[in-house]
Amino acid sequence: MIKNKITALAGAVALFLGALATPLMAGSLGVGVMGSAVLIEAEGTETLKTTSVKSKGDASALGGLASGYAQYRFGDNGIVFGLNWSPGKAQIGDVSRATHDAGTAYCAVTAPRSSCGNNIEQRAKASVENMVGGYIETPGFTPLGLYLLYSYNELEVKTEENLGSGASYPDETINGHGWGIGIKGTSDNGLHFKLAYEAIDWDTINLTSTAAASPDTATNTIKADVDTELVRLSIGYNF
């Protein structure tokens, strides 16, 4: 009895895999290139190390991004699974501020500020690069090939600050979920195109600065949110 059940189960699994393999074999592999116009918006709060004072700021940047992708499409107009990689880099902030470090309390009280201590340029700068993502697209509907898409992405955030205290912030990798809508089509010779709008909501960035040299061993913290909006034009070939 047990042997018969195992045989029946194995047969059912084989039939299921056979039914699944049929549309897989009927599908096609595609590769292509993608150009994107990208709007990056960032908003964050920095908490100072000694006073716990919070300061808020925001930055935005508009740029272009080139990507390559590979995808698999089920059937002639089925669900699409794909991967894309954007090796480019975009700057999202570059703010500088001049400050004066008087040095000692005695110097600050008894001498003119300009005659002692150091003039320091505090520069906060960041960029994003190496965006990698996987995506799913619905089949194209209506004569326009209207479709919806979902993506899961990874992005490197590079901090490039220059702080007078000697402290610095580490780089971080964040993940984001994207949703979009577009139109697509494929010609008889296998060429395909896609035009889509996508908005990506990224994870909150939490950074803690490395401490400067003793005796100043306290650390600052930054909490920031990054969002991107993209208009993508893709051209590729289905084998």
> How far apart are the C-alpha atoms of 229 and 202, rounded to whole Å?
11
* The pLDDT of residue 84 is above 70: yes
Asked whether the predicted pLDDT for residue 199 surpasses 70, the reply is yes
pLDDT at 175: 95
Token pair 């018969």 in the structure block, residue = 4
Residues contacting 6, CB < 8 A, separation 6+: none
Cis peptide bond upstream of 23, omega within 30: no
143-231-200 Cα angle (round to 5): 110
Question: Which tokens sit at 183?
Answer: 């139109």
59, β-bridge pairs: 42
Task: Report whether pLDDT(106) > 70.
Answer: no
184-205 burial string, b = 16+ CB within 10 Å, else e? Answer: bebeeeeebebebebebebeeb
Q: Where are the domains of the chain?
A: 28-95+124-238
183-199 average pLDDT score: 95
Report the pLDDT averaged over residues 81-95: 78
Q: What is the CATH architecture of 28-95+124-238?
A: Beta Barrel (2.40)
Predicted confidence (pLDDT) at residue 100 exceeds the cutoff of 50: no
DSSP string over 107-172:
HHHHS-GGGSSEEEEEEEEEEEEEEEEEEEEPPPBTTTTEEEEEEEEEEEEEE--B-TTS-B---E
Least confident of 51-65, 104-118, 197-211: 104-118
CA end-to-end span of the chain: 48
Rounded distance, CA 161 to CA 71, Å?
38
- Per the model's pLDDT, the better-predicted residue between 26 and 19 turns out to be 26
pLDDT (0 to 100) of residue 103? 46
What pTM value is reported for the model?
Answer: 0.71
Is residue 105 over pLDDT 70?
A: no
pLDDT score at 87: 86
Instruction: Summarize pLDDT for 134-183 with one digit per residue, the tens.
Output: 999 999 999 999 999 999 999 888 877 655 555 677 888 999 999 999 99
- Tokens 């595609």 — which residue? 30
What's the pLDDT at 133?
95
Span 42-53, average pLDDT: 74
What is the chain's percent helix, strand, coil content, to nearest 5? Answer: 15, 60, 25
Could you give the CA distance from residue 136 to residue 150 in angstroms, rounded to a whole number?
A: 5
Answer yes or no: is pLDDT of 79 > 60.
yes
Residue 235 has pLDDT above 80, yes or no: yes
* Residues whose CB is less than 8 angstroms from the CB of residue 19 and which lie 6 or more positions away in sequence, other chains included: none
Q: Give pLDDT, residue 104.
A: 46
Residue 116 has pLDDT above 70, yes or no: no
Which tokens in the block code for residue 84?
């894309």
Winning range, highest mean pLDDT, from 12-21, 128-137, 189-198: 189-198
Q: Which residues contact 211 (CB under 8 A, 6 or more apart)?
A: 167, 217, 218, 219
> What's residue 10's pLDDT?
53
Average pLDDT over residues 100-113: 47
Average per-residue pLDDT in the chain? Answer: 77
State mean pLDDT over 10-24.
50
Using a pLDDT cut of 90, give the percent of the chain over it: 38
d(CA 164, CA 103): 12
